[in-house]
Amino acid sequence: MSDRRRILIGVTGGIAAYKICEVVSTLAKSGAEVRTIVTDSAQQFITPLTLATLSRDRSYTDRDFWQPTHGRPLHIQLAQWADIFVIAPLTANTLSKLATGMADNLLTNTVLASTCPILLLPAMNREMWKQPAVARNWQLLLTDSRFHSITPIPGILACDIPNNTDSQSVEVLAAGRMAEPQQILAHIYSLLHTQGDRDLANKQVLISAGGTREHFDPVRFIGNPATGKMGIAIAQAAVHRGARVTMVHGPMNVEMVETLSEVTLVSVTTAQQMSDAMLSLFPAANLTIMAAAVADVRPTAYHPEKLPKRSLPQQLDLETVPDIVAQLAQKKRPDQHLVGFAAQTGDILAPAWEKLQRKNLDAIVANPIDQPGAGFGSDTNQAILLDRHGKKQNISGCTKLQLAHHLLDFIDFSPITL
């Protein structure tokens, strides 16, 4: 982050408290001001000294809460100081207190005194999470628009007995595990950008991401270096702004996909498969963003068995593949918005503007893939954003999540007049 932002993190008594160390450390290294509140039960798992050391700032406990002050009470000071308030892990006990407005310690008093967005990360035994009383408290809490959340994800918990989980895949285990640090950090950065505004609430967003592969035998294919990081960042940003998101993606790193627990995922390999999926899902989408690097050509012949090296063709016959974004543009209704990407080298502006007009797009991201820290595989990016009205915005080097938010800010969601 380029500017200093104030983030207050409350830690309650669950084993998942260890994960917050990485979050606190990463935020502090990025230039944010980070302070922490540690409940009495949380201190059974993590010490205030650890968090104070990682944050380079104060870590507060109930002992501080009950000390006399010479100015405003501590919970008022902290509530007015924070730009964002994060509670991780959120136990069933503290969840119940927040849902009913109880204030019996520093953490809960600070929640009631604050007005900033609050990000909640529940974590508990999966049977506890499924209890009707916990579900009622959770749903009641989320009726307050100030509260944002990352719901627990499936996974092996600290309370699981190894012999009972060896035969179970993580995917079939019920939710209960707190989200991983990278997913938490992404949501925090989004809240710092939006200040909790859910401007995409009730919108269905469809995103394509990653590269496609066109095989000519089971192990060889025509592909590209796309990793899907930009598409993932757009999906995260849209979810954090309240959208319902579906992402159609080519082959991608499993760990990256796992950060999208709140996104409906459709996995494909070839351009044709991506075309079929996008065309099927497109009618329900309010906004479609084609961030995938789709193949332009494919081999005309496929060999079902691996070709020995001596049998490899000296010349590979190719044919063009469907132009997905052009097909979507032909089917686009006035109430739908379609955004494309133009990955270019050299002059990026003229080709992007030509592509926007030729394919009837509402906006396009001109992406200079020959620049350092931009394009395929990098964690950062830069771009020129263009829309159909001629509006232009230059985005200098930033994280891909920041670029995603700049893009969503840039899009004009007003209906198109025919």
Contact 376, 400 (CB under 8 A): no
Whether 260 and 236 have beta carbons less than 8 Å apart is answered as yes
Helix (H) or strand (E) holding 154: strand 153-154
Beta-sheet pairing, 337-344 with 287-290? parallel
What is the rounded CA–CA span in Å between residue 42 and residue 59? 12
- 324 labeled part of a ligand binding site: yes
Backbone angles phi, psi at 367, to 5 degrees: -115, 115
323 is in an annotated binding site: yes
Tell me which amino acid residue 4 is: R
DSSP state of 267: E
Q: If DSSP codes are grouped into helix, strand and coil, which group holds residue 226?
A: coil
What's the CA angle centered on 148, arms 144 and 150, to 5 degrees?
135
Torsion of CA 258, 261, 265, 268, to 10 degrees: 0
CA-to-CA distance for 87 and 95, rounded, in angstroms? 10
166 known member of a binding site: no
- Asked if the bond preceding 308 is cis, omega within 30° of 0, the reply is no
Q: Is there a binding annotation on residue 225?
A: no
CA–CA dist 148, 117 (Å, integer): 7
Q: Are 122 and 89 in contact (CB under 8 A)?
A: yes
- φ, ψ dihedrals at 231, nearest 5°: -65, -40
Residue 170: DSSP 8-state: G
DSSP state, 271? H
User: How many angstroms separate the CA atoms of 6 and 18, rounded?
Assistant: 21
Is 332 annotated in a binding site? The answer is no
CA 200/CA 262 separation, integer angstroms: 15
Token representation of residue 45? 């798992």
Q: Cα(22)–Cα(259) distance, rounded to whole angstroms?
A: 16
- Number of Cβ within 10 Å of residue 344's Cβ equals 19
Q: Is 159 a catalytic residue?
A: yes
Strand order of the β-sheet with 147-149 is: 59-60, 33-38, 6-11, 84-90, 118-122, 147-149
One of 21, 116, 159, 398 is an active-site residue; which one? 159
- For residues 160 and 409, what is the distance between their CA atoms, to the nearest angstrom? 43
User: What residues form the annotated binding site for CTP?
Assistant: 296, 306, 322-325, 341, 355, 359
User: What residues form the annotated binding site?
Assistant: 296, 306, 322-325, 341, 355, 359
Q: Which residues are catalytic?
A: 159
